[in-house]
Structure 1
């Protein structure tokens, strides 16, 4: 695959760190990787954004950001309140397609969930994936409530005819509770797609060298790693 769209079933659940892990594995395999953040919100000019953080952790060669809005809101709302032009799905798709002509892999990291609005026309990350005919990797939380939001995201993708590549737990707790352990076995069914990884809590705090060395341990072979979903799920199961 040349382009993977990375979305979440919600916000603040580890999309950037999962994107960095995927980028780190691909970079270690000798692939040229570009990371595209269509709209960065909640940061002022000069502050390091999500795409920059992915590059710092992973060693990927290219980061790109199409728009930045100061308030931590949905991109469409943030653009309107700032009096700035929004970025729409067509612009995002064109930027990703251009990067794909120059790189082996392009990772497009969304803002929040799949249907967060980019513009006043209702454009979303799902529209970007559809325009690119690209699969979507869904990042999900581990705990209570994740089965519902995972299934809702899967149904939204299926209704639009968009391929779901799989799901990755964005922050696997150091001390997982019962719900988190039970959810591992059910996530593939709710998603209708395979479980492709679990990134440990706090992984984003590792130094870049350690992050790159360990990234493959957190991702399944479909994403270039060695993580074993069946074994991980079995080891986390509680009687």
Structure 2
């Protein structure tokens, strides 16, 4: 068995560690490895768990995003506020044509609509005159059509019809000419029909109460007191074989 000379650092722990670390000159005889196991190599920490999500976020950012805002509604061409340089005449003409679609209008009604839309007064007057020239506005025809629809259907008398035409802006002379076309017999017959219908709901009342209520109804429809009382008396006479007993004197109505 070969005997090798002992290294200089043998027995000295400090020298042995330095020699093992390479700080002391290596001996001629290779030292045996130290009994202390070397510490395991440091392991690089794994990347944080938030990295995948951040990677996905960066990937998402690279993709084009879609706007979730609603598309604006198309502007109303009839509203002057939606056009920096609106064509007032075209807008006003459209307002008039829309208003006249499906029904006749008086000039006053159309003028009110233009004023509400802030159409300049001079332009409104010029267009209204033009519409009258071509027959699209005709207060006389409007008054006759209004009477023809309201007098038989609603049973309105001349006085009530005159008030409605005045509210529509119809001139008094124009309204009077149209009202003169009403046949007095037609007006009276319309009142009689209303009284007959109303009598069905007044059967439990005495003649005096019936008279007051029926005459009041006719008065609200524009009938004068004398005409209303006459109509009611005739209808009660037809409905009651005993005649007109219990009628309220005309002076008390």
After TM superposition, the score normalised by the length of structure 2 is 0.24
Which has the bigger relative contact order, CA under 8 A and spacing at least 6?
1
Query: Which structure: greater helix fraction?
Result: 2
Query: Which structure: greater strand fraction?
Result: 1
After TM superposition, the score normalised by the length of structure 1 is 0.25
Determine which structure has more spread, i.e. the larger CA radius of gyration.
2
